[in-house]
């Protein structure tokens, strides 16, 4: 059976292969985590609670807990196989007390003002405009006052030529990282069809309209960008 037929989540690889392939698929993927953690350290040091929405197998939390060992972490994802991989990963780390929730960000029903930090890393670009806005509103609702929401997504350049160049660079990065031509074609063929990037300006405007006060771009590379918003 092909990898495509085995796919059990919204990404381009099955859950069991996600950890080994995601860094080959998204340029600077691990840097997103490093930058998010550094941002939290400055903007919301010593967070009591942290939700990683659409967090898949728990890769971000696996790193973040090393920096914030006293933080209560919650991992949510709409794909049970991804959470199953996370359960295996954290099975011998009971001291973390990680809570897992099977739900997409747009449908989470966790209490208001529950978290100091909410992250959504390469997960909301699967949403259409209406659902993306709903998911972002939900994150705002679940944040405590002064809490920070960090979102990293694939983006859409503002011009046709910019898009052509961006996709070309992304393709080259995946090939350099060891993916096959077939794997790269499958993944990038989903752009605008199975995941729906928007322009940087649209991200920032949407976050302002939802109700975040401080709204900033904090990272950009190839075809991904990171944004944060703070709840007043």
pLDDT tens profile 71-103: 999 999 999 999 999 999 999 887 788 999 999
pLDDT > 90: percent of the chain: 88
Report the pLDDT value the prediction gives residue 7, as an integer from 0 to 100. 66
Report yes or no: 109 and 133 within 8 Å, Cβ to Cβ: no
Boundaries of every domain in the chain: 3-230
Report the pLDDT value the prediction gives residue 94, as an integer from 0 to 100. 78
The yes-or-no verdict on residue 4 having pLDDT over 70 is no
Q: What's the rounded Cα separation, in Å, for the pair 110 and 153? A: 23
What lies within 8 Å, CB to CB, of 5 at 6+ separation is none
Q: Return the CATH fold of 3-230.
A: Rossmann fold (3.40.50)
Neighbours of 154 (CB within 10 A): 20
Report the pLDDT value the prediction gives residue 88, as an integer from 0 to 100. 93
Q: What number of residues does the chain have?
A: 232
The yes-or-no verdict on residue 1 having pLDDT over 60 is no
Listed as own residue / partner, the contacts of 27-30 with beta carbons closer than 8 Å and 24 or more positions apart are: 27/169, 27/170, 27/173, 27/174, 27/177, 27/221, 27/222, 27/223, 27/224, 28/221, 28/222, 28/224, 29/122
Q: For the residues 52-79, what does the mean pLDDT come to?
A: 96
Q: Give the tens place of pLDDT for each residue, 120-141.
A: 999 999 999 999 999 999 999 9
pTM of the model: 0.94
The yes-or-no verdict on residue 49 having pLDDT over 70 is yes
Query: What DSSP element (H or E) covers 153?
Result: strand 143-154
């Amino acid at each position: 059976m092909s990898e495509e037929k085995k796919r059990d989540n919204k990404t381009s690889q099955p859950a069991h292969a996600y950890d080994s392939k995601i860094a080959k698929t998204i340029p600077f993927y691990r840097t997103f985590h490093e930058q998010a953690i550094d941002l939290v350290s400055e903007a919301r040091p010593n967070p009591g609670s942290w939700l990683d929405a659409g967090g898949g197998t728990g890769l971000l939390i696996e790193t973040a807990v090393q920096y914030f060992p006293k933080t209560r972490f919650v991992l949510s994802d709409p794909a049970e196989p991804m959470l199953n991989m996370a359960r295996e990963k954290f099975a011998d780390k009971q001291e973390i007390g990680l809570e897992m929730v099977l739900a997409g960000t747009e449908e989470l029903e966790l209490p208001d003002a529950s978290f100091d930090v909410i992250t959504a890393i390469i997960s909301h670009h699967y949403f259409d405009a209406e659902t993306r806005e709903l998911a972002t509103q939900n994150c705002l609702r679940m944040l405590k006052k002064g809490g920070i929401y960090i979102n990293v997504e694939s983006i859409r350049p503002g011009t046709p030529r910019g898009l052509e160049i961006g996709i070309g660079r992304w393709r080259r990065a995946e090939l350099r990282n060891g993916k096959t031509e077939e794997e790269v074609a499958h993944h990038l063929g989903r752009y605008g069809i199975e995941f729906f990037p928007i322009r940087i300006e649209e991200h920032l405007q949407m976050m302002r309209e939802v109700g975040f006060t401080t709204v900033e771009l904090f990272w950009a590379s190839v075809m991904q960008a990171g944004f944060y918003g703070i709840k007043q």
